[in-house]
Amino acid sequence: MRRWYCIIVLTGMVLAGPIFAFAQTPQVPSPGPMALQVRGEFLYAWNAYKQYAWGHDELKPLSKSSRDWHSVSLMMTPVDALDTMIMMGLTDEANKTREFIAKNLSFDQDIEVKNFEITIRLLGGLLSSYQLSGDERLLDLADNLGNRLLPVFNSPTGMPYMYVNLKTGKTRGTESNPAEIGTLLLEFGTLSKLSGKPIYYDKAKRALTELYNRRSAIGLVGSTINVETGKWIDATSHISGGIDSYYEYLLKSWLLFDDKDCKKMWEASVKAVNKYLADNTRTGLWYGQADMNTGKRLSTQYGSLDAFFPAVLARSGDLDRARRLQESSYKMWTTFGIEPETLDYSTMKITSPGYQLRPEIIESAYYLSFFTKDQRYQEMGSSFILSLVRYCKTDAGYAALSNVETKSKKDSMESYFLAETLKYLYLLFAPRETLDLNKVVFNTEAHPLKRTW
């Protein structure tokens, strides 16, 4: 059954022409100098990971050493980076990495993992690389992982606990947030479709729906909720970290699965977000914080995580808001030479000074470039590359910044730098035939998923 499916995927990839066709495929023109530069930076960071951290979760670029999230490595960086290699046409590197993962990665570990992070990085990464390579071992790994994560949904409400032990299935973490509850359906749903097991889709969809059902009378969700009682603990509403990708998955689950419930939930949610969280100021359009019950403005914080929203707006067809918000994000970037984690947009003063090598502003530039064909977004991309090389490049890969004003570096290169930041930067400059954004949905970790069922 699997083998049969696989032939369809691979045939589909060939017949689909440029969709999911990458650099080495004849229909796609060769990448130009900017895309090649980004590919060079990817290889620079990846080679540093291989030299100093091979097999571990992450590279520590300043101490030239490695970090594992748990007592054993789950190969976070290789799994997260694999589909970027495939998309960049780094075929030999991708084949070696895929072989290494398939032979050495095991989820049969007595460790407690964070469901959200493992889902978006590993489950998402395995599924997209399976779709791109046709290597069934990756789907088997995804199925094995998905099964070990399933106990998280055994709460009285069906909303997931935050942590689960991969061997024992023991769960922990009753206080969660919309992002961790509502950012699962693309991965679990795709796993259902590819494995033929409906349980994954059903559990993740129920979690999303239970969360949506607890929105306030004015249609907003808060920041923290108890998954056992279903009661809100923090009523602050925003589009930033902790809520962000909940909205993204409402829209994208509708698009990927043609799920009409998700369409309804997305449309109602974005209406409330645009009514109560959007803030039209004299410096442009921003999105801040408001009370989920009254809609009263609570604060005016915006940051690198909020910068994902223009991409979502653009994908939904709202190019006007997407363009305006991207200009604000860009202002945040250029004011300091590189973006801070958060600032107060009413004063433009920094409230959290780090830069964690985040991708969101680049992701939005790519979506806007694809949907508007406006050169403006590649211009933005040029300044993103310049800043990254100038401030974050080290002897061994790339480093986050602890302070964007002093540009002091931090000993961290998160796996999403290779999965997302450099992938979106590459796609921003690569020939548009490389990938058709109308036919592919990226999970929140930039792993492309395609409807092959």
- Which candidate in 244, 259, 339, 445 is catalytic? 244
Which residue in 148, 252, 315, 358 binds ligand DMJ (CB under 6 A)? 358
Measured from the CB atom, the residue of 80 and 210 that comes closer to ligand DMJ is 80
Give residues with Cβ within 8 angstroms of 367, minimum separation 6: 310, 311, 314, 315, 322, 437
Q: Which two tokens stand for residue 451?
A: 């409807």
Q: Decide if 195 contacts 259 (C-beta within 8 A).
A: no
Minimum gap (Å) between residue 380 Cβ and ligand DMJ? 18
Query: Which one among 133, 445, 449, 452 touches ligand DMJ, defined by CB under 6 A?
Result: 445
Please, which contacts does 350-353 make with residues 24 or more away whose CB atoms are closer than 8 Å?
350/404, 350/405, 351/301, 351/303, 352/303, 353/402, 353/403, 353/404, 353/405
Residue nearest to ligand DMJ (CB): 444
Question: What's the closest the beta carbon of residue 282 comes to ligand DMJ, in angstroms?
Answer: 29
Query: Exposure pattern of 380-412 as b/e (b: 16+ CB <10 Å)?
Result: bbeebbebbeebbbbebbbbbbbebeebebbbb
Euclidean distance between CA atoms 204 and 250, whole angstroms: 12
Residue 212 amino acid letter = Y
Q: How far apart are CA 421 and CA 362, in angstroms?
A: 7
Taking the complex as a whole, how short is the minimal distance between the CB of residue 452 and ligand DMJ, in angstroms?
24
Residue 192 near ligand DMJ by CB under 6 A: no
Partners of 232 in beta bridges: 225
Question: Quick check: is 360 catalytic?
Answer: yes
Q: Catalytic residue at 341?
A: yes
Residue 146 near residue 81, CB atoms below 8 Å:
no
| Identity of the residue, 200 or 417, whose beta carbon is nearer to ligand DMJ in the bound complex | 417
* Candidate residues 428, 444, 448, 450; the one interacting with ligand DMJ per rule CB under 6 A: 444
**Choice between 131 and 240, CB closer to ligand DMJ:** 240
The count of chain residues that interact with ligand DMJ, using the rule CB under 6 A, is 8
Region for residue 109 given its phi and psi (left: phi exceeds 0; alpha: psi -120 to 50; beta: otherwise): beta
CB 308, min distance to ligand DMJ, A? 7
Is 212 an interacting residue with respect to ligand DMJ (CB under 6 A)? no
Cβ atoms of 346 and 281 within 8 Å: the answer is: yes
User: The tokens of 145 are what?
Assistant: 């992982």
Q: How far apart are CA 79 and CA 97, in angstroms?
A: 8
Please state, in angstroms and rounded to a whole number, the distance separating the CA atoms of residues 90 and 129. Answer: 13
CB of 248 to ligand DMJ, least distance (A): 8
Annotated catalytic residue, options 68, 112, 117, 140: 117
**Which residues in the 234-253 window bind ligand DMJ by CB under 6 A?**
245
Question: What is the chain's alpha carbon radius of gyration, rounded to the nearest angstrom?
Answer: 21
Provide the minimum distance between the beta carbon of 187 and ligand DMJ in the complex, in angstroms, as a whole number. Answer: 12
Mark 252-291 with x for binding to ligand DMJ (rule: CB under 6 A) and - for no binding.
----------------------------------------
The smaller minimum CB distance to ligand DMJ, of residues 125 and 146, is found at 125
- Smallest separation (angstroms) from ligand DMJ to the CB of 356: 6
Comparison of 128 and 452: residue with beta carbon closer to ligand DMJ: 128
Binding of ligand DMJ at residue 416 (CB under 6 A)? yes
Q: Catalytic pick from 279, 341, 363, 420?
A: 341
The residue assigned the tokens 């993962």 is: 101
Residue span 100-129 as binding mask against ligand DMJ, x where in contact by CB under 6 A, dash where not? --------------------x---------
Q: Is there a contact between 111 and 64 (Cβ–Cβ < 8 Å)?
A: no
* 244: annotated active-site residue: yes
Which residues contribute to the site for ligand DMJ (CB under 6 A)? 120, 245, 358-359, 416, 420, 444-445
Residues annotated as part of the active site: 117, 244, 341, 360
